[in-house]
Structure 1
Amino acid sequence: MKRSDIPYLDDLRAFETTARCGTVRGAADELSLTHAAISRRINRLADMIGAPLFERSGRGLRLTTAGDRLAEVCRRSFDDLSRTIVSIRETQATDTGAILLSCERSVAMRWLIPRLSEFQDAHPKIAVHLSVGGGPIDSKQDRATLALRRLDFAIDDGWSVVPLFEETIGPVMSPDMRSNFEQSDYIALGSNTRPNAWDDWLRQHPDAPRPRDRRMFDHHFLMVEAASSGLGVGLVPHIVALDDINRGRLVAPFSFDPDGSRYGVLHPSQIPLRESAALLLNWLRDMSGEI
């Protein structure tokens, strides 16, 4: 087989993640993609190979014989690839003193990136490389120096946790949308990453106006932008709406309620924090005081 005939890496990754998680939804959450996008990639891979990779088993999926063979090869290949990348990153970090900071996508786009220049201005010799990711971290494969996460998952023993702030959520809207909201004439904007958020919030606020319709977005940062543009009322974490509220682009008439989870910074427990990483960690802790 020619190298050009090898399937797309994105298709192989979607397949391997689904095989490992056991469900398309689990793979969609891990890869921050939609259920439909995962299914399309798996179907395209099966068509290219010429054999089904999964079969239905009750409410879940089961690998076919061909799928089991391919999943094992993918696991080994991705493990080798991850170890190689980790080794390169560690070498680079050691050589340059750089920090690799992993952060959840919406938090990175709506809160961290707009503030990161403040840290860089204060510490111009410290290079911070930012990657996006969410959920559990594999200490054997992910060698981020620091990882900013919503702590709603079991944490591997290889990581230490520094708590930052509690997660709070609430409805936000453009100022012009407020009267429509109060009259129950609004579209509720939700995120596919938390599909039950509106049901939970409305149950906790029985006197709140009810929406006339709902729309879902793949990520909170898309939903916040939609709310700022007047497309509806978004139910969002405070951290991703903070700047738009301060600028007057959004209002939050019901404020924000704790949802029982917290954010924190994780770092490898068996690797002493370098001075540069400790400075960034302290800065993140200070900045989180505004939330």
Structure 2
Amino acid sequence: MGIENLADLRLVQEAARSGSLSAAGRTLDLTPAAASAALKRVESQLGARLFERSTRALRLTAEGQTLLDYAGRAFELLAEAEAQVAAGRGELVGTLRVAAPSDLTRRVLLPAFDEFLARHPGVQLALSVGDRPLDVMRDEVDLALRYGPLADSRLVARPLAQTRPVLCAAPAYLHRRGTPRLPQDLVQHNCLSFHRAGRRQREWRFGQGGQWVAVRIDGDRHADDASLAREWTLAGVGITFKSYLDVRADLDSGALVRLLPDWDTEAYPLHALLPSNRFVPARVRALVDFLADWLAQWLADDPAGIATAGGSADAGAVRAAGRPNIAG
């Protein structure tokens, strides 16, 4: 037997939020007896205990947390459907919760978000910017834009761009310290690293003629925000190894110089990650399509040819095969 009454489920949601069954009852205009009966009905219908009860508060069980994770999204989708019906014209409405890397957002995507919101005035954007590891399933995100190979089989991904990291430095740094000619020369330079997947970079990889070399790097500073590594590099502090999307404008303007251009670097794709391929709100699908088209136009005149739009999966969304590499 499943849950038969949405009002009972809302009571569970409110009790979890307030930590009190009586407080949840007051919010929903229910007597303490009615609130207690509603919780008992849901637990009986599911055959699971949703809260650990004490004299002071309620605490969700693992089963209760799982139910609330899905219930929250279900209520959001129901609210969206009601808004769409009320609008009567199929206009996009609701809040888009998007997580994206710091430099990519500031250097590339802000104009895209501005244009999308201008086209869809019924949509609001809640943007989380950063390079720390993120659990897309748990952190209440509708869409995450992430670099790197994929690894979480629960997620659905759409490739937005195929790119590679590039080694770069400011002219002032190269004038002062010299220009590396081989990957091994980097051991003599101040290499500015940032965290990927919550871990500090310790080596950079380069290939030539099918042979790859990993160079152990070191420097006088590193950060958990990839945009700081770029800013330090622009200031002439050292050398960094960043996604081409993030530094393309700096390379085009001459503020940064690309190093070791004859050496290959490993693929560093950009994906749009969705928590599920089911019940994806129309506004989320619309934003993914918009960003794919916007990036295709932005990369169409790429003089270096290092990045291309989309990827091998032009067929749209693909199921990921492991855990996403959360990188900046």
User: What is the number of residues matched between the two proteins?
Assistant: 214
Query: Residue 269 of structure 2 corresponds to which residue in structure 1?
Result: 262
Query: Residue 165 of structure 2 corresponds to which residue in structure 1?
Result: 169
Aligned pair 1:286/2:293, yes or no? yes
1:213 to 1:280, Cα distance in 2 relative to 1, 3 A: closer
1:265 to 1:93, Cα distance in 2 relative to 1, 3 A: farther
Q: Deviations over 1:135-183 (max 9, x none)?
A: 56453x34422221224342243x3211122341121112222333416
Aligned partner of 1:200 among 189, 202, 205: 205
After the TM superposition, which residues 136-147 of structure 1 pair with which residues of structure 2 at under 5 Å, given as runs?
137-139=135-137, 141-147=138-144
Tell me by how many angstroms 1:235 deviates.
1.4
**Structure index of larger Rg:** 2
Query: Residue 87 of structure 2 corresponds to which residue in structure 1?
Result: none
**Secondary structure of residue in 2 paired with 1:192:** strand
Tell me by how many angstroms 1:225 deviates.
0.5
Tell me by how many angstroms 1:86 deviates.
4.4
Q: Deviations over 1:62-94 (max 9, x none)?
A: xxxxxxxxxxx8986x948x8499459937972
Query: Residue 235 of structure 1 corresponds to which residue in structure 2?
Result: 241
For the residues of structure 2 that align with 1:75 and 1:240, how far apart are their CA atoms?
42
Contact 2:192–2:218 at 8 Å: present in 1 too?
A: no
Greater RCO (CA < 8 Å, at least 6 residues apart):
2
Bigger proportion of residues as helix? 1
Tell me by how many angstroms 1:220 deviates.
1.4
Q: Return the letter of the residue paired with 1:120.
A: L
1:138 to 1:231, Cα distance in 2 relative to 1, 3 A: closer
Cα root mean square deviation, aligned: 4.0
**Secondary structure of residue in 1 paired with 2:231:** helix
**Secondary structure of residue in 2 paired with 1:259:** coil
Q: Deviations over 1:42-73 (max 9, x none)?
A: xxxxxxxxxxxxxxxxxxxxxxxxxxxxxxx8
For the residues of structure 1 that align with 2:255 and 2:124, how far apart are their CA atoms?
32
Aligned pair 1:178/2:178, yes or no? no
For the residues of structure 2 that align with 1:233 and 1:172, how far apart are their CA atoms?
6
Query: Residue 96 of structure 2 corresponds to which residue in structure 1?
Result: 99
Aligned pair 1:130/2:127, yes or no? yes
Q: Which runs of 5+ in 2 are unaligned?
A: 1-58, 84-92, 300-306, 308-328
TM-score (norm: length of structure 1): 0.58
**Secondary structure of residue in 2 paired with 1:162:** strand
Aligned pair 1:251/2:248, yes or no? no
Q: Return the letter of the residue paired with 2:125.
A: V
Aligned partner of 1:121 among 113, 118, 125: 118
For the residues of structure 2 that align with 1:130 and 1:265, how far apart are their CA atoms?
14
